[in-house]
Each structure stands twice: as structure tokens, then as C-alpha cells.
């Protein structure tokens, strides 16, 4: 398995971040790694969506787990490997909110695919989380 985690702290309340997360169609407003996104339903387990990174091929994803106000997990099933990202909110010191993204690549091909694909997927996490926090604070 391949894994990576990045977190930031914000003064924004968790419900503000949650509202931004649950509006999938608006993710490109704060995530420069998404050129286009189409959503096949509400923010609910099982809903499929397609993200197109700038200059790249579309990626089919689905919402796999949701704990309202706390976390959601999206995943891409590629057959011999699965890319799963957990987006989590936790309380932090001083009334702040910790925003955490954790990506795991698992499955039979994970050891081959993970070291190349993982860093490509997660390289922009610091910028994405900074932009999300800034929008939530604004």
C-alpha cells in the first residue's frame, strides 16, 4: 500500500468547510487541480463524479463514505488498485479546525503504481488545502 497525508489548520468553523466540500460542482473554484467536474447526484454515498485535471484525462470517482460534518471518502477503482482519499475535519487548539487529506493506494498493483501515481495525485494537496482554508475563512 502507498499512503500520504497532509493537513492544515484554519480559523473557519467545520460547518463552513463541510459546506464547501459537499458542493462537489463548485470544487474547481478552490481546487486548481480540477479543470472540470460533473456530478451524477447528491452528496451521498454511491454518487459518482468525474474530475478532469488540467490537460489530463477524466477520472471516474465515487463517494464511498460520508460522516456528515466530520469526513468523507472518495475512491477510484482501477481494478487491480484503488485510490482512496479521506477528507477529514478535526478540532484543533484554540477553536481552530484541522483539515486533513489522506490518500491510500491499495490492491495487488499498489506497490507498482503507488510510487508514481501517488505523488502525482497528492502533489497539490498543500495548495488545495491552503485555498480551501482561505475560502472558508473569507
- The Cα 84–Cα 47 span in angstroms is 15
Q: What does DSSP say about strands 71-77 and 82-91: parallel, antiparallel, or unpaired? A: antiparallel
Supply 130's cell numbers: 491552503
pLDDT digits (tens, 9 = 90+) for 74-117: 999 999 999 999 999 999 999 999 999 999 999 999 999 999 99
Q: What's the pLDDT score for residue 3?
A: 97
The enclosing domain of 92 has a CATH number of 3.30.530.20
CB 78 within 8 Å of CB 61: no
Residue range of the domain that includes 112:
2-137
| Residue 67, all three cell numbers | 460522516
- Please give the order of strands across the beta sheet that includes 82-91: 2-10, 97-106, 82-91, 71-77, 59-67, 48-52, 36-39
Give this prediction's pTM.
0.94
Query: What is the model's pLDDT at position 39?
Result: 97
Is residue 38 very low, low, confident or very high in pLDDT (cuts 50, 70, 90)? very high
Report yes or no: 61 and 45 within 8 Å, Cβ to Cβ: no
Quickly state the pLDDT bin for 119 (edges 50, 70, 90): very high
Confidence label for 26 from pLDDT (cuts 50, 70 and 90): very high
Indicate the number of domains in the chain. 1
pLDDT band at 127 (very low <50, low <70, confident <90, very high): very high
Amino acid at each position: 500500500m502507498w499512503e500520504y497525508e497532509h493537513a492544515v489548520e484554519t480559523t473557519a468553523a467545520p460547518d463552513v468547510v463541510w459546506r464547501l466540500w459537499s458542493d462537489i460542482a463548485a470544487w474547481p473554484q478552490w481546487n486548481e487541480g480540477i479543470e472540470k467536474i460533473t456530478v451524477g447526484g447528491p452528496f451521498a454515498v454511491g454518487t459518482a463524479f468525474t474530475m478532469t485535471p488540467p490537460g489530463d484525462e477524466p477520472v471516474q470517482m465515487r463517494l464511498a463514505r460520508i460522516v456528515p460534518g466530520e469526513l468523507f471518502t472518495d475512491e477510484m477503482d482501477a481494478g487491480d488498485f484503488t485510490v482512496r482519499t479521506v477528507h477529514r475535519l478535526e478540532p484543533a487548539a484554540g477553536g481552530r479546525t484541522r483539515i486533513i487529506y489522506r490518500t491510500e493506494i491499495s490492491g495487488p498493483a499498489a506497490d507498482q503504481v503507488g510510487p508514481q501515481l501517488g505523488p502525482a495525485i497528492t502533489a497539490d494537496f498543500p495548495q488545495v488545502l491552503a485555498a480551501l482554508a482561505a475560502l472558508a475563512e473569507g
